[in-house]
Amino acid sequence: MKQINEEHRDQPDTDSPREEENLLVSEHIEEVAEGGQKVRRKGIYLLPNLFTTAALFCGFYAIVSGMSGQFGSACIAIFVAMILDGLDGRVARMTNTASAFGAQYDSLSDAVSFGLAPALVAFSWTLNEMGKVGWMLAFIYAACGALRLARFNTMAGSTDPRYFIGLPSPSGAALVAGMVWALSDLGVDGSQLWVSLFAGLVTALSGILMVSNVRYHSFKKIDFKARVPFFFILVAVLLFAVVFSDPPRVLLAIFMGYAVSGPILAVMDWRKKKTETV
């Protein structure tokens, strides 16, 4: 009997509260560089991941709103997700809280907010009128958005920081969402065939541009800490005034211009190389 009790005592107590807690929630451990050495740290940084979570929520809200027929709210949520997506990375760098976990979480959030959300909003508004062709076009955009993010993650640090390879997924999302917002705000009926064809063309082309090799200016070299002439502040004020005077149309025009700038830059580079070889 004593031997049996000792054997039972040596067995691990899997029913203990601590063991059950470890099975339910495991702490995140990440290897980071500190002082030129790699050390293992537990936990995640709260502040930048809060911004990422807010961006993810905006993408989810856009999907729900689009399915409910509230297309204006859905598109606004996508644009808010763009702002939050730009802030989380900057906050992480400014507070020295960048991490591999944050980068992966940000990428998954982008896949929802800038991949699935615009595709489903466009499908709910008009692409569903084309049946299987409509959901195929929506899927092309969503798949291209995911491929764009995967390629960006694998190529990070190996490309010219002045340029993006392919249309950035937030800009692609802004192009699709801006189209839906601008036309629905004008009272355009999404059930019309020409509207479905136009929206399908814009959605598919946005997806193709995201996975293309066309270069786009990244504007990462802009130094926001540097001193600038007073005139720049005046320009910024006027820009805000123009945007808020008619947000749907102005934002659509801005991001449509940015989407077209890539192919124009490619044609200019091709003509320059052709002239040099002659």
| Per-domain boundaries in the chain | 29-277
**Residue 22, SS3 per DSSP:** helix
Cα–Cα distance between 80 and 62 in angstroms, integer?
A: 10
- Give the global pTM: 0.85
Regions of the chain with pLDDT less than 70: 1-26, 31-41, 157, 224, 278
In this predicted model, what pLDDT tens digit does every residue of 37-61 receive, in sequence order? 666 667 777 889 999 999 999 999 9
Residue 132 corresponds to which tokens in the numbers above? 């299987």
Per-residue pLDDT, 56 = 97
Tens digit of each residue's pLDDT (9 = 90 or more) over 233-249: 898 899 989 999 999 99
Instruction: Supply the DSSP symbol for 166.
Output: S
Instruction: Look at residue 274 in the predicted model and tell me its pLDDT.
Output: 80
pLDDT at 92: 86
CATH superfamily of 29-277: CDP-alcohol phosphotransferase transmembrane (TM) domain (1.20.120.1760)
Q: Are 255 and 202 in contact (CB under 8 A)?
A: no
